[in-house]
Amino acid sequence: MRQTASAPSGELLARTRQIATDVTATHAADVDARSRFPAETLAAARDAQLLSAAVPSELGGGGAALSQLAEMVFVLAQACGSSAMVMAMHHIQVAMIARHGRGAPAFDAYLREVVDKQRLIASVTSEAGVGGDTRTSICAVQREQGRFTLVKDATTVSYGEHAEDLLITCRRAPDAAPSDQVAVLVRAGDYRLDHQGSWDAMGMRGTCSPAFRISCSGPESQILPGSFADSSAETMVPYSHILWSSVWAGIAADAVARAAAAVRAEARRTPGATPPTAVRLAETAVELQTLRGHVAATAADFDGLGDRRDPLATMGWALRLNHLKVGVSEAAPRVVHKALQIIGLQGYKNDSPLSVARHYRDVVSASLMVANDRILSKSASMLLVHKDE
């Protein structure tokens, strides 16, 4: 039976914990082994009304703040990194529509439909030929008689074949500059996906992220108001870097939990003696707590802005979000590696209950999701002129 649409944040988190334990963890190994979409988790999330967690409560959604969404994906990531990443990316798209389309009749109606039908939204920001720069587009939306048409060659479209709808970035018009972008909501039935590759990846296999050529059309009212430059700075980047970081932290946390189980088992074999690995576990726990604190503090400060969006356009916030993404994406793999060293061979074996093989493979994707070198290059330019306040 489907849960009621609107729920306090504590209830949403409780539902997430139950799904992570009863459903997600059960299927995680199979999702990874078969590189398949985590259908069971998404079905349970729909029944629990989790796909509308980021929809404002006035429209019937959960009204969850960013820090609450971050905690929800952190919990899921401890069971399955792919499942958590799918949910994180969906929440980002919902937030984009809720924060930048709110008040437009077409988008208010759509958000209510997300609540009623628990529609899954995928992101299409990647594009062949732009070198991984999501703030540049080659493709352009064309408008005629109240409708649009668009064709985009995307290098990755996570869970695109399993989503109802897509949120696609493109140039505002055929004569617009590459950085003059808009975001377009494309609904099921209004687009065609043509495979341009496969998804047999090292990790995050359940995200199902091959390349596609996307051909679509729809009513012009589904073009998100304003510029993508603004919505990216105010929503896409903060939500992405905070939610992704929370996913990576969750993967690392489960690896540390497995390391702790290994140390406790060793201690039971040698009563009265502290295992040598206990000190290494303590060191690793410090690093895990540090990266979790980094995510939590950034999310809390974002939520503390309330309706104020001007600060998000400042160099200070841009640097802070860049530092978060790079810092956590580099720290989380270190934590998983340290957990593996503590566990030893049982952590290395795929068929062991203490295995961190999936964690290891999933978390190394972190530095590639918007490449750290690209982010650091932008940060370096800003640091030349930015002064701490």
Question: Is 388 contained in some domain?
Answer: no
Question: Is 4 contained in some domain?
Answer: no
Contact 294, 58 (CB under 8 A): no
- Per-residue pLDDT in tens (0 to 9) along the chain, 389 residues: 345 445 556 899 999 999 999 999 999 999 999 999 999 999 999 999 999 999 999 999 999 999 999 999 999 999 999 999 999 999 999 999 999 999 999 999 999 999 999 999 999 999 999 988 999 999 999 999 999 999 999 999 999 999 999 999 999 999 999 999 999 999 999 999 999 999 999 999 999 999 999 999 999 999 999 999 999 999 999 999 999 999 999 999 999 999 999 999 999 999 989 999 999 999 999 999 999 999 999 999 999 999 999 999 999 999 999 999 999 999 999 999 999 999 999 999 999 999 999 999 999 999 999 999 999 999 999 999 987 75
Same domain membership, residue 115 and residue 127: no
Question: Is 163 contained in some domain?
Answer: yes
The predicted pLDDT at position 29 comes to 97
Same domain membership, residue 197 and residue 55: no
**Domain stops at, among 222, 245, 269:** 222
Same domain membership, residue 204 and residue 338: no
Question: Is 72 contained in some domain?
Answer: yes
Phi and psi torsions of 123, nearest 5°: -100, 140
Same domain membership, residue 201 and residue 107: no
**Domain stops at, among 167, 200, 222:** 222
Question: Is 1 contained in some domain?
Answer: no
Spatial CA neighbour of 101 closest among 114, 90, 110, 91: 110
Same domain membership, residue 300 and residue 198: no
The predicted pLDDT at position 9 comes to 65
Question: Is 237 contained in some domain?
Answer: yes
Domain that holds residue 142: 123-222
The predicted pLDDT at position 5 comes to 44
Contact 128, 134 (CB under 8 A): no
Same domain membership, residue 372 and residue 232: yes
Same domain membership, residue 75 and residue 38: yes
Reported pTM: 0.96
Question: Is 88 contained in some domain?
Answer: yes
Contact 64, 11 (CB under 8 A): no
The predicted pLDDT at position 387 comes to 77
Same domain membership, residue 129 and residue 210: yes
Same domain membership, residue 150 and residue 70: no
Q: Supply the CATH number for residue 315's domain.
A: 1.20.140.10
Same domain membership, residue 249 and residue 135: no
Q: Supply the CATH number for residue 33's domain.
A: 1.10.540.10
**Domain stops at, among 119, 147, 164:** 119
For residue 281, give every residue at least 6 positions away whose Cβ sits within 8 Å of its Cβ, in sequence order, or none. 256, 259, 260, 263, 342
How many folded domains does the chain comprise? 3
In a 13 Å sphere around the CA of 335, the CA atoms on its Cβ side amount to: 32
Same domain membership, residue 347 and residue 248: yes
Question: Is 54 contained in some domain?
Answer: yes
Same domain membership, residue 167 and residue 151: yes
| Torsion on CA atoms 114, 115, 117, 122, rounded to nearest 10 | 30
